[in-house]
A = this chain, B = another copy of it.
Amino acid sequence: MSERPDPVPPVFVLVRPQMGENIGAAARGMLNFGLTRMRLVAPRDGWPNPAAVAMASGAGRVLDAAQVHPDVAQAVGDCTRVYATTARPRDMTKVVMTPEEAARDMAAHVQAGGRAAVLFGPERSGLTNDDVIRAHVIVTVDVNPDFPSLNLAQCVLLMAYEWRRATHAAEPVRIAMAGAEWATAEEMEHLARHYEERLEQAGWFWPPHRADSMKATLRNLWSRMPLTGHDVQILHGILRQMVRWARRGGRVEGDGPEA
């Protein structure tokens, strides 16, 4: 029996992070999308960091389990594929991916038994070239060139979001039905006919040479609407009520009869 072990989710490595708040927010962003493996390289304010804990709130367990390393080499020592997030281009020959592409690449890598790490640089300066050289892949978020400043926690959030998208089957557009059912074609046909008959009586299809085109327009309107059976009953009810009202002479309570 040579069963393949379960894929190991990627580690997110915060390299020389400065603000505890950002470490805490990064932990939240990771856990929002199901990631829990954080490593820290030489955090500026030491470790543990109360500001990180305060910001992490419900994601404190990510911080509790975080490993601290003195340098990037040790932080990624057990990893087989390393991704470096960078905002600016580097003068080196290296594969560059979007977060989406990187997440898919990472998912394939860990599925095949590899171990992936994503490096995030310090707030002010980003990763150094020495850090980036260790990576197999550069990841760059396509941002507005006039305002490219993504903060550390935002960058972590986007990578974690893409990781979840890459590893959870995308659900197609769906309709929350709240127990309702779509109207059948037959119900729609009855509805269209009901309105046509009553509007005919009310003299709406005028002038006569335009009647067919007006009816077609109305039919098309109904068919564009995603109506439930219940919606159709409401539309019937509205029309019936208008007919009743018309037969009473269109009087509003308290008004006299119309002139």
The answer to whether B178 and A92 touch across the interface, beta carbons within 8 angstroms, is yes
Residues of B within 8 A of A157 (CB): 154, 157-158
From B31, B93, B149, B178, give the contact of A32 (CB < 8 A).
Answer: B149
Q: Does A221 contact B (CB under 8 A)?
A: no
* Interface-facing stretch out of A37-45, A165-173, A193-201, A250-258: A165-173
The answer to whether B94 and A175 touch across the interface, beta carbons within 8 angstroms, is yes
CA A28 to CA B144, docked complex, whole Å: 11
Residues of B within 8 A of A143 (CB): 32-33, 164
Residues of B within 8 A of A176 (CB): 89-90, 92-96, 138
Q: Does A101 contact B (CB under 8 A)?
A: yes
Residues of B within 8 A of A31 (CB): 144, 147
Q: Does A18 contact B (CB under 8 A)?
A: no
Q: Does A49 contact B (CB under 8 A)?
A: no
Bitwise interface map of A from 43 to 60 toward B, beta carbon under 8 Å scored 1, else 0: 000000000000000110
The answer to whether A177 and B93 touch across the interface, beta carbons within 8 angstroms, is yes
Q: Does A83 contact B (CB under 8 A)?
A: no
In chain B, what residue has the closest Cβ to A175?
B95
CA A55 to CA B86, docked complex, whole Å: 23
- Show 5 A/B contacts (Cβ-Cβ < 8 Å), sorted by A: A93-B177, A93-B178, A95-B175, A96-B175, A101-B173
Excluding A95-B174, A158-B161, 9 further A-B contacts by CB distance (< 8 Å) are A32-B154, A59-B147, A89-B176, A90-B176, A95-B173, A95-B175, A97-B173, A143-B164, A154-B154
